[in-house]
Amino acid sequence: MFVFIVPLKSAQVSNSWQQVCQLFERTLRSICQQTNQNFQVICVCHEKPEIDFSHPSVSYLQVDFPIPYWNKKTFVRAENHNQCVDKGRKMWLGLAEAKMFDPSHVMFVDADDCISNRIVDFVNQQDSNCNGWYCDQGYEYEEGKDTIFLRQQNFNLKCGTSYIFRFDLVFPQWVEFEEITRDYQRHQMFGKYLAEKGSPHSYLPFTASVYMTDNQENIRLQKSFFTQKDRPIKEQMKFIVGDFYKKIKSQKLSNNIKQEFGIVPLSDKVLQEVI
């Protein structure tokens, strides 16, 4: 059995709960179109999302712990930490819930990303004792565009939806990792932690994840955040150069990519809010 865990932010700290729900629904549809249906999806949330999609393999774990405060209009270190704490707790509770399914492997999926429909089938064909895999390459997609960028290396250092863990390596060791690092969100770093402990991961031999950007719900990925006048000039220039490079290296968003990853446009109303 393979388990996907999707932590979802609260409506109380969302810029638009309608948008969060639509992004999540697209993510959920993307996950559930796996060619091998031997999987479960656990969504960990404060409020159950308002969506039209359902699937027999999807369950919701609603939590009632206090929602850490952060200002939706700004982005400072303390607020980022609070957001990470909330997400990290949900990831941990998702792992605890996943135990009932006795999974061989688990994957954390950010609630606005899309994934390949080949993941479960690939893992099912591998030795169940494999430590896991990570995405060295992956796609980056800006909402509303007709092009997509393929990041050919170190994708796992940029996107959270990039690791497949053997379950007994991540649970309950996740608690020890958090206590040592105080890193409540970056499960990318957990891969490094396991490698240092003698359990390295392998390259995933195909592109398996799409990192969604500029959707107004992930502040760190907004162009407006990196180009703010009060940000260091080096940071602004680095983003501008990188954005230009991605534009000239991007490829057409083909029907094959749309179908494999479940990339569908948001509703006109939500897309207007994004753009």
Give the pLDDT band (50/70/90) at residue 197: confident
Domains of the chain as residue ranges with CATH? 2-274 (3.90.550)
Residue 227 has what pLDDT? Answer: 46
Write down the pTM of the prediction: 0.85
Is pLDDT of 93 > 50? yes
Residue 217 has what pLDDT? Answer: 57
Residue 192 has what pLDDT? Answer: 81
Is pLDDT of 74 > 90? no
Give the pLDDT band (50/70/90) at residue 193: confident
Query: Residue 49: is the preceding peptide bond cis (ω within 30°)?
Result: no
Give CB contacts under 8 A, 24+ apart, made by 192-200: 194/131, 194/132, 194/165, 194/169, 194/170, 199/131, 199/166, 199/169, 200/131
Closest CA to 94 of 186, 182, 6, 194: 6
Residue 225 has what pLDDT? Answer: 47
Determine the Cα–Cα distance for residues 188 and 106; give it in Å rounded to an integer.
14
Q: How many CB atoms lie within 10 A of CB 170?
A: 25
Angle (CA) 112 114 116, round 5°: 165
Residue 79 has what pLDDT? Answer: 46
DSSP character for 66? P
Residue 188 has what pLDDT? Answer: 66
For 144-171, the pLDDT digits (tens) are 899 999 999 999 988 989 999 999 998 8
Q: State the number of CA atoms in the 13 A half-sphere of 145 facing the CB.
A: 17
Query: What is the residue-averaged pLDDT of the chain?
Result: 83
Determine the Cα–Cα distance for residues 1 and 99; give it in Å rounded to an integer.
11
The arithmetic mean of pLDDT across residues 105-109, rounded, is 97
For 31-61, the pLDDT digits (tens) are 999 999 999 999 999 999 999 999 999 999 9
Closest CA to 61 of 19, 113, 8, 14: 8
Residue 184 has what pLDDT? Answer: 45
